[in-house]
Amino acid sequence: MSGIQTPSWSLATCRDGAGAASLAVLLEDGTLLAAPELKRWDTMLDLLDDWATAEPVLRRLELEGVPSVNDVGLVAPLRYPRKLICAGVNYRRHIKEMGADVPAEGWHPFFFLKPPTTTVIGPADPLTVHDRERTRYDWEAELAVVIGRGGRAIPVESALDHVAAYAVANDVTARALHKRTAVPAAPFVYDWVASKAIDGSFPMGPGLTPAFLVPDPQDLRLRLWVNGELQQDESTGDMICSVAELIAAASQVMTLEPGDVIATGTPSGVGAPRGRYLRGGDVVRVSIDGLGSIENTVQEP
Ligand code: MG
């Protein structure tokens, strides 16, 4: 069961017909509200850079009577994360479905990066699959963690204090390009860039739900459907390393900054074990209870 209490809301970025972007409050029913308090920040990154000021403002946000925004489209809430850090396998059943065993002990999280400026797309943007037979795009529903307070070597105990917000994401992966066939030596077997860094391979949204509205990030139900057919359905409680542990581990490697996003790994139910990959016309919907849903239609150029 999710610990989320309703009603919840998130911070969205919307764009009007003239291309101007602005911040708004997104309610669970899809209503966008032009909260005047948000006008002091031009972009979500500005708001996150100012998180110490923004958080108390958001906690006091009064939504009663705030006018709704119309004639705008929802775009990626955070179009340019400062860094986009992704956890490698982090759910037990997903390790098994990929043909490996979970080590009994001594597990340490590991990460890869997606380019922060070219992979993020919005919650309803088309998802472009290139060269389908050769690349084999697969889905990975994930909880995304947005950093509001930076740091290095952050202790696990205080790691969640660094989180500004949470969002729904899909770490789209070109599965066939991950393992190389002809390599000179073992260190060169995996190509994380070819499989993970593809343009538009990180649909995210619909908004950023402030962490203070999420009582327990390890108690969120995460689901993914392709064409209405349920593929993934687990709780973030099934993570091997918790959100706090991932933040602590990532911050041992690199300094975390406001606006960084950490994708926390995907549960079981990806397409690879069944040989089901994305193709033009597929509709991929990812939802996390309390954080909303994203839905991207696959197109092939
Ligand atoms: Mg992933």
State the pLDDT at residue 107: 80
State the pLDDT at residue 7: 62
State the pLDDT at residue 3: 41
CA 301 remoteness from chain centre: 25
User: What is the pLDDT averaged over residues 63-86?
Assistant: 94
Number of domains in the chain: 2
State the pLDDT at residue 95: 83
Least reliable range by pLDDT among 70-74, 196-200, 204-208:
70-74
State the pLDDT at residue 4: 39
State the pLDDT at residue 54: 98
Residues 62 and 99 in one domain: no
Question: Does residue 274 belong to any structural domain of this protein?
Answer: yes
Residues 190 and 110 in one domain: yes
C-alpha 149 to ligand 1 mean position (Å): 23
State the pLDDT at residue 5: 43
Residues 146 and 203 in one domain: yes
Burial group, residue 120, by CB count within 10 angstroms (0-12, 13-18, 19+): buried
Confidence of residue 104 (pLDDT cuts 50, 70, 90): low
**3-state SS assignment for residue 47:** helix
Residue 187 has pLDDT above 90, yes or no: no
C-alpha 11 to ligand 1 mean position (Å): 24
The strand pairing partners of 23, in sequence order, are 13
The strand pairing partners of 230, in sequence order, are 225
Confidence of residue 101 (pLDDT cuts 50, 70, 90): confident
The domain of 273 spans 84-299
Question: Does residue 3 belong to any structural domain of this protein?
Answer: no
Burial group, residue 204, by CB count within 10 angstroms (0-12, 13-18, 19+): buried
Question: Does residue 1 belong to any structural domain of this protein?
Answer: no
Domain end point (choices 52, 75, 98): 75
Domain end point (choices 20, 54, 75): 75
Q: Indicate the average pLDDT of the chain.
A: 94
Residue type, 169: A
C-alpha 200 to ligand 1 mean position (Å): 14
Residues 59 and 123 in one domain: no
Residues 55 and 129 in one domain: no
Question: Does residue 210 belong to any structural domain of this protein?
Answer: yes
C-alpha 96 to ligand 1 mean position (Å): 15
Domain containing 253 — which CATH number? Answer: 3.90.850.10
C-alpha 266 to ligand 1 mean position (Å): 5
Domain end point (choices 43, 75, 107): 75
State the pLDDT at residue 1: 38
Question: Does residue 143 belong to any structural domain of this protein?
Answer: yes
C-alpha 252 to ligand 1 mean position (Å): 20
C-alpha 87 to ligand 1 mean position (Å): 6
Residues 31 and 90 in one domain: no
State the pLDDT at residue 252: 97
Higher pLDDT, 203 or 96: 203
Question: Does residue 166 belong to any structural domain of this protein?
Answer: yes
C-alpha 56 to ligand 1 mean position (Å): 32
Question: Does residue 2 belong to any structural domain of this protein?
Answer: no
Residues 246 and 200 in one domain: yes
Sheet harboring 221-226: ordered strands across? 127-128, 292-299, 283-288, 221-226, 229-235
Residue 117 has pLDDT above 90, yes or no: yes
C-alpha 71 to ligand 1 mean position (Å): 34
Burial group, residue 28, by CB count within 10 angstroms (0-12, 13-18, 19+): middle
Residues 172 and 287 in one domain: yes
Least reliable range by pLDDT among 63-67, 105-109, 146-150, 261-265:
105-109
Burial group, residue 68, by CB count within 10 angstroms (0-12, 13-18, 19+): exposed
Q: What is the largest CA-CA distance in the chain?
A: 65
State the pLDDT at residue 70: 87
User: What is the pLDDT averaged over residues 147-173?
Assistant: 98
State the pLDDT at residue 230: 98
Residues 187 and 98 in one domain: yes
C-alpha 247 to ligand 1 mean position (Å): 16
pLDDT tens-digit map of 204-244: 999 999 999 999 999 999 999 999 999 999 999 999 999 99
Question: Does residue 238 belong to any structural domain of this protein?
Answer: yes
